[in-house]
Structure 1
């Protein structure tokens, strides 16, 4: 394992017993390149050829106020796999805010739990005073990785191979983009949304494969909302208006306190991919909040949507967590009780029907990417340690039979969001792998791990040592080397035309 270290970043972060600045959430500040990872167990399958990218909340400076796990700076960890070998590198995302804090040598912005006045400079996002970290989601569109912020910031561009920072996306609108834009590889289009505290409160856009904003439309709402994710089908984009949003009276005093609004249903906006406000089809459903969708597709006169329904979007505080009681509950799946759910929207009648797909508390699911916008049978969800935002296992759902496979990691070992990677020449929907990072608090180490997606109960079939213990993170993605090559070829043809 040959390690190349990058120049160190400036940091003022002090050791802490904060639950999301210690243990598996302890930040790492070194940036390294490793030419080939050392195999601990098994072997890397030869029929996997692509790049795993994981975004990480990884704070650099001592917080100005109370720290929330979503406040951290973005660090992208990457493993490139080809020919049965894997390399590793990690880099901070050099957002404007990261760069300004490196110049100042200290934190300049407060966090999610702090009053806006605590920030030393004007902030970003729908909240209005936050640091744009770009540390929530990561996807790849048209050969470029995009790191995005959950509350709407700039889309920060990164070379997915070298992790070179490429600056903010030129097509980003003034209200930014939220986390979880979606990419249709067949057309090369990226669909996104944003939200704000000024009318019309939401917008929806489409970026083409050449990186041009080709569509941008208002989505009128009755007030500020807090959507987190969207879904797409071949013809529709699905946005939402849910009853968990900022308290209107407190918002007048610049206090951002989310609460459930009784008597208000969940609403879904189905808009044609290049549609206008007058083309929106609105559907009502039972009140809830949903962080993440797994897939959507068209089925005759119906549009089908699957995701994680929260039975208790406004959870009770975890009293034993003391001063962190509210914060710990709002990031704990066992507190807000997320379960796999299906919605059906009938385009003829305007009716919505719903059904529960799983009684187990799960979230952060992945599907075979070849089945995006198509009816899929399998979903791979993560389980979490009760009381914590820490992944401790997997559930493979068979939505056709209702059966499940479950794998639980050993105590003190935690996973990352894990894309499903189809095997080359796959014979079935579940013929492939889950790729993840493991953090082992027992040994103080981290690993690359690969699981058999068709039988997760076997646990990792391959483990490779990382050069340092990494911090727990948020979202991840997988991109095939062949897709990157196709995108590069498209860019060359476009420049030559």
Structure 2
């Protein structure tokens, strides 16, 4: 392996015992370019050609207040697989806030758990007081990578192959965009939404295949809400109004405290792809909160939506002696209990039907992206160890037969979100690989693994060494070289 290390960033971090600043969440402060990566096991398949991108919450400066893992600075890790070889690089996302804190040499903004007055400067996003770290998701649209922030940020543009930074996406509205814009690979369009604390509280938008904003309409809500993700079918975009949102009275005092209202229904807004506010169809369903959707598609009069229904969106604090039990419960899947679930919205009757697809605790699902918005068969979810926001395995579902297959990592090894990478000239939906980065706490190393989805239960068919141990994070994306070449 050949490695070039870039000039170090400025950091004010000090040793501490915070559970999400140590172990798999230990911040990484170096940026590198690496090529001729060493293969630990197996071989790099020559029938895969593209780029895996993974976003990371990676704290650079000593926190001003109470640290939450979602406060960390965005860092993009990338592995490029081509012709049986692999290269790697990683870069901090040079957001406005990152640059300001580099100049100051310290933190300037408080975090999600801090009270008003901790930040030294006005903040961004729906919260209004946070640093836009662009550290949540990363997707590729029109040949450009977009990194995003979970509470509505500016969206930053990078070259997906070189990670060259190109600043804020020029089309982003004043209220920003949510963490999870979606790309329809059939049309090349990008769909997004945002939310805020001022009426109408939500907007929905569409970019065309060339990156031009062609639709942007209000989606009026009863008050400030906390939607996190959206889905789409061939003709409809699906937004939500869940009964889990900031306490309205505390919000008047500048306090952002989330409450679950089980007496209220969940509401879903179905809007035609290029529709207006007047075209929205609202559907009601059982109360819950959903972080992430898998897919949606149309079947006769119904729009079918699959995602992860939370059985307990407002869990009790974990039993800990260090004062971190409250926030850790809200990012512990075994506390809020997400289950793979299906909603059916009948456009003829206006009624909703629901069913549970799996009773295991699962989340962070992926599918073959060429099937987004279309009927599909296979889904890939992550599993987690109790008490922690970490991934320790994967489950493949055959949604037609109900069968499933699992891969569980050995103790002390933790995965990243794992998108599906189709084989070159793939013949069917599951003809390809799951790609993921692994943190090995036993050895203090990281690697990239590939799982052949045709032989899923066999586990990794290839393990590729990375030049350093990375920090844990949230979302990842795969883009085929052919897609990049077409965009160019």
1:161-180 superposed Cα distances (whole Å, 9 cap, x missing partner): 11011000010000000011
Give the Cα separation in 1 of the matches to 2:320 and 2:107: 30
Aligned to 2:379: 379
Residues 185 and 370, structure 2, Cα contact 8 Å, conserved in 1: no
Structure 1 residue 43 corresponds to structure 2 residue 43: yes
**Number of the residue aligned with 1:325:** 325
In the other structure, the counterpart of 2:295 is: 295
Q: CA deviation at 1:273?
A: 0.8
**Farther-moved stretch of structure 1 (258-267 vs 235-244):** 258-267
SS in structure 1 of the partner of residue 107 of structure 2: coil
* 1:336-375 map, 5 Å: 336-375=336-375
Q: Which residue of 1 aligns with 2:78?
A: 78
Partner of 1:491: none
Q: Which deviates further from its counterpart, 12-21 or 216-225?
A: 12-21
For the 8 Å contact 1:405–1:455, the answer to whether it is kept is: no
User: CA shift at 1:238, angstroms?
Assistant: 0.3
The superposition leaves residues 43-69 of structure 1 with CA deviations (integer Å, 9 ceiling, x where unpaired) of 011110000000000010000000000
CA distance in 1, matches of 2:413, 2:435: 15
Map 1:98-177 → 2, pairs under 5 A: 98-177=98-177
Partner of 2:448: 448
Q: CA deviation at 1:454?
A: 2.3
The aligned counterpart of 1:472 is 472
Cα offset, 1:185, TM superposition: 2.0
Match of 2:14 in 1: 14
> Any unmatched runs of 5+ in structure 2?
none
Which residue number in structure 2 is paired with residue 462 of structure 1?
A: 462
Which residue of structure 1 aligns with residue 427 of structure 2? 427
How far 1:320 moved relative to its partner?
2.4
Counterpart CA distance in 2 for 1:325 and 1:339 is 22
Tell me by how many angstroms 1:254 deviates: 0.8
Following superposition, the deviation at residue 263 of structure 1 comes to 1.5
Say if 2:23 is the partner of 1:26. no
Contact 1:394/1:456, CA 8 A, preserved across alignment: no
My pick for the range that moved more, 89-98 or 420-429, is 420-429
- 1:365–1:225 CA distance, 2 compared to 1 (3 A): same
| Cα distance between partner residues in 1 of 2:455 and 2:307 | 22
Q: For residue 495 of structure 1, what is the aligned residue in structure 2? A: none
Q: When the two structures are superposed, what TM-score results if normalisation uses the length of structure 1?
A: 0.97
Which SS does the other structure have where 2:292 is aligned? strand
Residues paired across the two proteins, number? 488
Separation in 1, partners of 2:22, 2:340: 31
Distance across 2 between alignment mates of 1:36 and 1:298: 45
The Cα of 1:372 is off from its aligned counterpart by: 1.1
Using the TM superposition, name which of 5-14 and 367-376 deviates more. 367-376
Query: What's the C-alpha RMSD, in Å, of the aligned pairs?
Result: 0.8
Equivalents in 2 of 1:378, 1:15: separation in Å? 44
SS of the equivalent of 2:240 reads strand
The SS at the match of 1:469 is coil
Tell me, what secondary structure is at the counterpart of 1:135? Answer: coil
Q: Which runs of 4+ in 1 moved over 3 A?
A: none
Q: Partners of 2:366 and 2:201 in 1: how far apart?
A: 29
SS at match of 2:99: helix
What do residues 395-425 of structure 1 show as CA deviations (whole Å, max 9, x unaligned)? 1111112121111100000000000111123
Deviation of 1:321 after TM superposition, in Å, equals 5.4
**For the residues of structure 2 that align with 1:213 and 1:181, how far apart are their CA atoms?**
13
